[in-house]
Amino acid sequence: MGWILGDKFDTVYPHKGSIKVLWETKWRFACQKSVYPFHDGNIEDFEPVFAQLIANNTNDALSDAYTLAFLPAAESLEQRASDALESGDTQRASEFLLRAAAVYRISRFPYVGPTDKGLKRDAFERQKKVYLAATSFWTPRIQEHSIPYTHRTSNEASHIPIYVRIPERATADRVIPCVLIMTGLDGYRPDNSQRTDEIIKRGWAVVICEIPGTADSPADPVDPASPDRLLDSVLEYMASRTEIDMSKIIVWGLSAGGFYAVRAAHTHRSRLLGCIAHGPGIHHFLDPGWLSRVEDHEYPFPILAAWAKKYGYDDPEEFRQKAQEKFSLIRTGVVNQPSCRLLLVNGMNDGITPIEDCLTLFNHGSPKEGRFYPGLPHMGYPDSLSAAYKWLEDVMGQS
């Protein structure tokens, strides 16, 4: 089929296979502006690391050499945080720890799975530790909870790790709305500081949960129904929190998490006020033809193997040929059901999940809402965030 992406579909983007071009044309700017994926980061921490990677011609992010290059910078920031704590400066300590977490995040790109071991898993464990240490000085702080996976099957782990941040004013007598963030392929629980700040600033609670096949999620990636069991369990925990108004729950799915937000809008429509699917794939992103060229587009590193593993495939080619039939929300009929309010947000030039996936949803199930940004790539950053927050305000206020 012809893609709305047009000629870019057959284009190999300049940064592919070159850490030098990636840094100089994309990531340096992102780091300077503290935008995805460099939230909480500082360019002075990253510039020397990328200079070393470029000098050593280290272009393979899957290699240990790539990850190892970042660890001294992260460890140095941890030491600076320790020194700040010794002098009683908790604010500076928190800042250094957040910066260390950002360095660990980039070091463990592009993917860590629930069963993965090795250096990237170690970097992720370090990231979680320093991030929670950093946020322990916040008001309100982010708290980690390991909640029962009450709807699990026998082959799934028993608990779901989540992050929770609740404004101090919330009480059993003054319940508040809550946004449930479902994370993506490479962005996990410790990667949402700016979102939690914005949500808390509006007086709402926030819960962060990882999606099947990524990070620490216990949900079976092979089972298309596992996200429903996962969401049932998380919502049950949220209902046990006396501060949360369960009549005002919105799911916000990010990138690969957008797939699950679309699914939730249909499968859990009676329990949700609304959903935001931000950069979602629902059907065409699993098209074998699309997947034949997705490696060439804006994702910073090779993506197909990670994406396959996230859906439970060891062989990327088997994923390319079979995943659409098994997981597509159109093929499985999920999106033909009614849904709660659902906002679709993305860039029109998305080379990871084609804009066709958002547009085709308007022909299925309930009427949808959408905001799409011409000329912008996957997720439509930075313009798309303001639209998402405005929609959240409107929906929370109208309920």
**Catalytic residue (choose from 255, 328, 339, 384):** 255
Chain position carrying tokens 């090779």? 302
Q: Judge whether 158 counts as a catalytic residue.
A: no
Burial class (CB in 10 A: 0-12, 13-18, 19+), 184: buried
**Catalytic residue (choose from 350, 357, 364, 384):** 350
> Tokens for 382?
């930075």
Q: Judge whether 255 counts as a catalytic residue.
A: yes
Looking at the DSSP assignment, which residues form a beta bridge with residue 180?
207, 251
Residue 334 near residue 267 (C-beta atoms within 8 A):
yes
Q: Judge whether 378 counts as a catalytic residue.
A: yes
CA dihedral for 278, 111, 100, 165, sign (positive or negative): positive
Chain position carrying tokens 């965030």? 385
Looking at the DSSP assignment, which residues form a beta bridge with residue 145?
162
Q: What SS3 state is found at 225?
A: coil
Integer CA distances (angstroms), 13 to 88, 273, 346, in order: 48, 39, 19
Residue 246 near residue 200 (C-beta atoms within 8 A):
no
CA distance 364 to 200: 34
Catalytic residue list: 255, 350, 378
